[in-house]
Chains A and B, each alone.
Chain A
Amino acid sequence: MANSSNNSPALLDIAEVSKSFGSVEVLRSVGLQVAKGEVVTVIGPSGSGKTTLLRCVNFLESYDSGSIRIDGKEVGFRDGGARQRRSERDLAGMRAETGMVFQGFNLFPHLTAAGNIMLGLTKVRGKSTSEARAAAEHWLGRVGLAHKADSLPAELSGGQQQRVGIARAVAMEPKILLLDEITSALDPELVGEVLAVVRSLAEDGMTMVMVTHEMAFARDASSRIVFMADGSVSAVGPPKEVLAAETTNERLRTFLARFRASHF
């Protein structure tokens, strides 16, 4: 299938990544390139390795072989062929280049909405408290929560918490944003407000890799869709191609048919 169409080197380059949990192979020689400004959606049945792949990109999970590079730099391992894990300090620095939004929001419960955003800005980016506060307010405004800056996570709805989660990630000005099933824990009526934020980030040109079950969103908002099955990339291409009902890919057809049956 068609790969990224431009010739510039990929911002994110995943090459032959494999990983096992014990005897279970969760990733089998996965390869994927994401260019700057692309929105890539990863779909597939549960247990197909989508989330694990995403967590390898910022090295929340290690992997057994292959390489993951952002802007040409290996994320989890030292440069040079020795496959030596980076020091925790280096890892922290590499992770600051990616942003991640989680299924369970994972806000810091003791910090306000603004405080959640400011923590990384002050401790990692070295901004002053007032600079960080201004940035936090800017991003909270972007996600429609300017009035909730001083609320604790426990005082926010799920949709609001997730929008803070997004603001916390993008305020760090990451090169790439990883979104891990960010609407799966939300009540259906709250999904829209979160996806609207993601859409506006996409319009701004934010590079994103998104694991999702929101097919309509994947179809409308992504540059490419990756279909994963059994730990490998089974299909990749523009939404129209991948989601076409007449696909010859047996696994994909089964997945889409099952999906349509349960969601429409």
Chain B
Amino acid sequence: MGYTLNFNLIWRHFDKLSGGLLLSLELALIAIAIGIVIGLVLAVWYVSAGRVVRGIIAAYVEFIRNVPLILLVYLVFYGLPTVVDLAYSAQTSFVATLALYSGAYLVEVFRSGLEAVPRGQIDAGKAIGLTPWQRLVHVRLPTMMRITLPALSNTFISLFKDTSVASVISVPELTYGAQWINFNTFRIVEVYLVVTAMYLVTGYALLFALRLVERWYRTAR
């Protein structure tokens, strides 16, 4: 083992990593924001829809869940523009892909959350004369949010890690930054040690922050 660790070159190019980390967070944040909208709309639609709509939504969920993310990224970035006349940047393409990807997972999360709202609460909403829409907004969704918030946090942390896939289409996020430093300095061990630590620390910080949010939400009044 003649290898000596030398982090100097890593620190010299650290802007690639810090900038990459911020972009990773940004990608995950935008993707989950869109994913939440997709997931909520489809989940609410699913639980009140007939068989055809349910089938279509289930097909979307199953497709996304059974195709590796990296393939979806290739499909949207390289595949789609050759079929339809669309031009978009790698970053836009990746955010769209990740949003569709998280949306599929969140449909399942929200759907099971909606189904877990106790029947008695819905009865209570009916009994005071709330319309179905009012019951959804004021009874079912708030309770569903309490039930699903931990799963939502976990999804977000997964998405944060999944942003590393964007490196395959040269989006300059954290993993891409690591690759760039590796190619230009050949300090492969050092750079991946640093990047691993950055993913870990950020992941834990997110988890901690989200658990605080969950606790606040449980006791908010």
Question: In whole angstroms, how far apart are the Cα atoms of A94 and B220 in the complex?
Answer: 32
Which stretch (A10-18, A109-117, A220-228) binds chain B?
A109-117
User: B127 touching A98 by the CB < 8 A rule?
Assistant: yes
- B124 CB contacts on chain A under 8 angstroms: 100, 102, 106-108, 165, 168
Query: Does any Cβ of A come within 8 Å of B50's Cβ?
Result: no
Would you list which residues of chain A between 218 and 254 have a CB under 8 Å from chain B?
none
Q: Do A106 and B121 form a contact, CB below 8 Å, given A92-B126, A98-B127, A152-B221? A: yes
A169→B128 contact, CB < 8 A: yes
A93 within 8 A of B: yes
- The listed residue (B118, B123, B128, B143) touching A119 by CB distance below 8 A is B128
- Asked whether A172 lies within 8 Å of B128 as measured between CB atoms, the reply is yes
Query: Are A88 and B131 in touch, CB under 8 angstroms?
Result: yes
Q: Give Cα A40 to B221, complex, Å.
A: 37
* Contacting residues, chain A, for B130 (C-beta < 8 A): 92, 119-120, 123-124
Residue A99 at the chain B interface, CB threshold 8 Å:
yes
> Whose C-beta in chain B lies nearest to the C-beta of A91?
B126
The answer to the question of B55 belonging to the interface, with a C-beta cut-off of 8 Å to chain A, is no
- B125 contacts across to A, CB distance below 8 A: 108
Number of A-B contacts (CB under 8 A): 82
Point out the residues of chain A lying under 8 angstroms from B138, CB to CB: 108, 119, 123
Complex CA distance for A98 and B121, rounded to whole angstroms: 17
- Residue numbers in A under 8 Å from B132 (CB-CB): 88, 92
Q: Which residues on B sit within 8 Å (CB–CB) of A58?
A: 126-127
* Per-position 1/0 for B140-160, Cβ under 8 A of A: 001100100000000000000
In this complex, the member of B128, B130, B146, B219 whose beta carbon has the largest number of chain A beta carbons within 10 angstroms is B128
Known: A89-B131, A123-B134. A60 touches B126 (CB 8 A): yes
B129 touching A124 by the CB < 8 A rule? yes
Residues of chain A within 8 A (CB-CB) of B143 are: 108-110
A residues near B68, Cβ cutoff 8 Å = none
B126 close to A109 (CB less than 8 A)? no
Count B interface residues, CB 8 Å.
22
Set of chain A residues within 8 Å of B118, measured between Cβ atoms? 106
Chain A residues 19-47 with CB under 8 Å of chain B are none
Q: Which residues of B contact A69 (CB under 8 A)?
A: none
- Is A66 an interface position by the 8 A CB rule? no
Residue from B126, B127, B129, B132 whose CB has the most chain A CB atoms within 10 Å = B127
Given contacts A109-B146, A152-B221, contact A168 B128 (CB under 8 A): yes
B129 partner residues in chain A, CB cutoff 8 A? 92-97, 120, 124, 172
In the complex, residue of chain A having the shortest beta-carbon distance to the beta carbon of B123: A60
Residues of A within 8 A of B139 (CB): 108
Which of chain B's residues have a CB closer than 8 A to the CB of A168?
A: 124, 128
Please give 15 more A-B residue pairs, beta carbons under 8 A apart, in addition to A97-B129, A124-B134.
A91-B126, A92-B131, A92-B134, A94-B129, A95-B129, A99-B128, A100-B127, A106-B118, A106-B121, A106-B123, A108-B121, A108-B138, A119-B130, A120-B130, A172-B128
Name 16 interchain pairs, CB-CB below 8 A, sorted by A.
A60-B123, A88-B132, A92-B130, A97-B129, A99-B127, A102-B124, A104-B120, A106-B120, A108-B143, A109-B121, A109-B143, A110-B220, A119-B130, A120-B130, A123-B134, A169-B128
Enumerate chain B interface residues (CB-CB to A < 8 A).
118, 120-121, 123-132, 134, 138-139, 142-143, 146, 219-221
- A→B interface (CB under 8 Å): 58, 60, 88-89, 91-100, 102, 104-112, 115, 119-120, 123-124, 150, 152, 165, 168-169, 172
